Amino acid sequence: MEVMTIFGTRPEAIKMAPIILKGRKDESLDIKVCITGQHNEMLHQTLDFFGIRPDYDVNAMKPNQSLFEMTANMLRGLENILVTEKPELVLVQGDATSAFVGALAAFYMKIPIAHIEAGLRSFNKYAPYPEEINRILVSHMADYHFAPTNRAKENLTKEGIREEHIFVVGNTVIDALYLTLDLIQDDENKFFDYFSYLDMTKPILLVTCHRRESFGEPFRNICLALKKIAGDNHVEIVYPVHLNPNVKKPVFEILEGQPNIHLIPPLDYPHLIWLMKKSYLILTDSGGIQEEAPSLGKPVLVVREVTERIEGVEAGTCRVIGTSRERIVNETRRLLTGGQEYTKMTKAINPYGDGKSSKRILYLIKNILCRK
């Protein structure tokens, strides 16, 4: 049975990796890997770490291209691959443009589609942009929906998706996290050397912000808040800065030269996980980190106006604080002081998975295909 995975960003690669690795051990499955190139360097770092070699690379990214160009380039590139391979099932993950275009290409070819991490909703089509609409459109093209939580399943049924096609399996990001922790556990000295510039006696505040919806004034507010936090608190701030010029420009203009703010290139996945383990607190707009950090006991402040991962908010693992400069400063200060509020967040139970999601998905795929 040939199953083709289509993805193009680092978060997709992380969440697809456990499925690909387990699936390739199953002789009844022929797992093909097709990448779009939506991310380039960060994507290949992740694939190299997990030992995954793509079968196809659409290589759709061009400098400074628009969403129009990126979508068209991906779709054209996928056409020839799907015509050649004719897989029995296409797997897409999440809400990136690669997932939307992968599903669209499979739909055009009348190939069944399975959507991993189905059913997340912010209920604001511009937050995140364009991801909210991407995942809604994928849901209405997909034949099978692997939802991470019961809430995600409810979102799908409310949109008219048939319940018998929805399977609650948890989130594969937890599978990837546990796999990574096992792979890096013997390399502590290597990681300490890599981050030797950090004063580990101070609390570490990890920052990851890159979403398109925050370009412009919101990013300036986030950066100005970080500058204030760095000046007023005994803390080390580490910010792996996304390569997008809309992120890099305000970050370096406002934060470069601050002695306890470390602006570094994007981290590969194992270094990011190690740094998350050592962090005291995380500020992020990343969906994956909202899901991973609770398994490491790390409180998360979400610098967005909304989140589609409301389960973490309800469980107490994270808090949505928006992009107001004053609120970012105040909420961060409150948690940096420790106390009962901080402790409660560190002990909250992760609602996103138990590390067995990829096993469930592969079992379902084999049974779905067997029923055809």
Cβ-based neighbours of 110, under 8 Å, separated by 6 or more:
none
Per residue in 196-254, pLDDT tens?
Answer: 999 999 999 999 998 888 788 889 999 999 999 999 878 999 999 988 888 889 999 99
- Considering the domain 188-346, what is its CATH architecture? 3-Layer(aba) Sandwich (3.40)
Note the pTM of the prediction, 2 decimals. 0.88
> Which positions are catalytic?
95, 117, 131, 210, 212, 242
- Give the type of residue at 311: E
Q: Domain map of the chain by residue range?
A: 2-171+354-370, 188-346
Q: pLDDT band at residue 303, thresholds of 50, 70 and 90?
A: very high
Q: Look over the chain and give the mean of its residue pLDDT values, rounded to a whole number.
A: 93
Three-class SS state of 187: coil
Q: Do domains 2-171+354-370 and 188-346 have the same CATH topology?
A: yes
Q: What is the pLDDT of residue 371?
A: 58
Would you call 333 helix, strand, or coil by DSSP? helix
Residue 372, pLDDT above cutoff 60: no
Cα–Cα separations (whole angstroms), residue 155 to 123, 124, 147, 179: 10, 14, 10, 30
Q: What is the pLDDT of residue 117?
A: 97
Over residues 95-132, the pLDDT tens digits come to 999 999 999 999 999 999 999 999 999 999 998 899 99
Tell me what pLDDT residue 186 has.
82
**Cα–Cα distance, 56 to 105 (Å, whole number):** 15
pLDDT of residue 211: 83
Superfamily of domain 2-171+354-370: Glycogen Phosphorylase B; (3.40.50.2000)
Q: For residue 42, is pLDDT > 90?
A: no
